[in-house]
Homo-oligomer: A and B are copies of this chain.
Amino acid sequence: MAKVAFIGVGNMGAPMARNLVKAGHEVHVFDIVATNMQSVQGAHMAEQAQFAVAGAPFVISMLPESRHVQSLYLGEKGLLAHIAPTALVIDCSTISAQASREVAHAAADRGIAMMDAPVSGGTNGAAAGTLTFMVGAQEEHLARARPLLEQMGKNIFHAGAPGAGQAAKLANNMLLGIMMAGTCEALALGVANGLDPKVLSDIMKQSSGGNWVLERYNPWPGVAQGVPAANHYAGGFGVDLMLKDLGLATEAAMASKSVTTLGEVARNLFALHSRLGHGKLDFSSILKTIQNHTD
C-alpha cells in the first residue's frame, strides 16, 4: 500500500479519498476548508498542501476550476516545488485541456510525471467507487496509476497524451448536454402530440433515437425509477455543473475554430434554465424549461 496525498476533499474528493483509505492506503489530505478534511475518516490531515505531498509517490488533486489547479501547482510557491521528481501527479479536476497541458508541461520541466484523469459518475459514483476516468497520460504513467484508479472507479479509458483526458471529457459532456436537451425536446413534442411519455421512451430506446439518457436517466417524471426525475430533480448532476462543462467545450471550440452550433444552443438553454432559478437541480430538469406550460 502506498502513501497518497489527496488535495481537495469536497463533495467529490472526500468519497474518493475514503475509498483509498478503505483500500489500506496511507492517505494525507489537504483542503482549504478544514472541515472538509474531517469527513475523510482514517486520513491524515495536513495543515498545508506541501506537508501532504512530502515524500508521497502519488499526488491526487480534485479541484473546481482551471484557476485553482493552476494556482495550486504553478508559480514560485506552487506545489510542484514540493513534490518528489519520482512522484506521479494525478489531477482528477475537470478543467480546460489547455490549462491541463500547461500544468503537465510545468511538471515535466521538473521531471515530475503528471496525468489528467477527470471523472464522470457524480457523487454517487464517487461513493460507490464506480467512477469513470478519462485519462490523458503516457502509457507507463497510466500503468502506474491504474491500481489506485481502480479503487475509485470502474471504467478507465486511456484517451491519449496529457490533456487528452480533459478533451475527451468535454467532448463527451457536450454530447451529453445536447442529448439531454434533445431527448427532452423529443419527449415533449411527442406528448404534445398525444403520445404517452413511457411508450415513446420505450420506442425510441429501441430505435435509432436510443441513447444513454433514455437508458439510464429518463428526464420525464414517472417514466423511470431511481433517477433524479423521480425525485423532483434532486441529486444527480447539477445544471450549473453541466453549464461549466459546456463552457469548457465552448472554450475548446473557440481555440480550435470548431463548429459546435448544437453544443452552443444547448449551453444557452441550460444558462437560461439556470437563470430561471434551477441551477442547483439535476440537469435533466431542463425538461421543465423546454416543456413549460402555464395552463
Query: For residue A204, which residues in chain B have a CB less than 8 angstroms away from its CB?
Result: 168, 171-172, 175
A2 beta carbon closer than 8 Å to chain B: no
Which residues on B sit within 8 Å (CB–CB) of A247?
254
Residues of B within 8 A of A120 (CB): 207-208
A32 neighbours in B (Cβ, 8 Å): none
Nearest Cβ distance between residue A59 and chain B, in whole angstroms?
A: 24
Are A275 and B294 also in contact (CB < 8 A) when A260-B268, A264-B265 are? yes
A209 within 8 A of B: yes
Docked-complex contact B265 and A203, CB < 8 angstroms: no
Question: Do the beta carbons of B193 and A252 come within 8 Å of each other?
Answer: yes
Q: Are A257 and B277 in contact (CB under 8 A)?
A: no
Interface footprint category on A:
35 or more
Q: Could you tell me which residues of chain A, from 107 to 163, have a CB within 8 Å of some CB in chain B?
A: 120, 132, 134, 155, 157-161, 163
Which residues on the B side are within 8 Å of A174 (C-beta)? 182, 185-186, 189
Could you say which of A12-20, A39-47, A81-89, A194-202 contacts chain B? A194-202
Chain B, residue nearest A121 (CB):
B208
Contacts of A173 in B (CB 8 A): 208-209
- Chain B: minimal CB distance from A169 (Å): 9
| Cβ proximity bits A246-282 to B, threshold 8 Å, 1 near / 0 not | 0101111111111111111111110110111100000
Across the interface, name the chain B residue whose C-beta is closest to A252.
B193
Work out how many copies of this chain go into the complex.
Answer: 4
Q: Is the CB of B189 within 8 A of A260?
A: yes
Q: Is there contact, CB below 8 Å, between A271 and B256? A: no
A192 at the interface (CB under 8 A from B): yes
Check if B157 sits within 8 Å of A203, measured CB to CB: yes
**Is B189 within 8 A of A252, CB to CB?**
yes
The reply to whether the CB of A60 lies closer than 8 angstroms to some CB of chain B is: no
Assess whether A71 is interfacial by the CB under 8 Å rule: no
A:275-292 near B, CB below 8 Å: 275-277, 289-292
Q: Which of B134, B210, B265 contacts A211 (CB 8 A)?
A: B210
User: CB-CB contacts of A165-185 with B at 8 A, as 1s and 0s?
Assistant: 001101111111011011101
17 examples of A-B residue contacts, CB within 8 angstroms: A97-B193, A160-B195, A168-B199, A168-B203, A171-B200, A171-B209, A172-B204, A172-B208, A175-B211, A185-B259, A185-B260, A189-B258, A211-B212, A247-B254, A259-B291, A262-B265, A272-B289
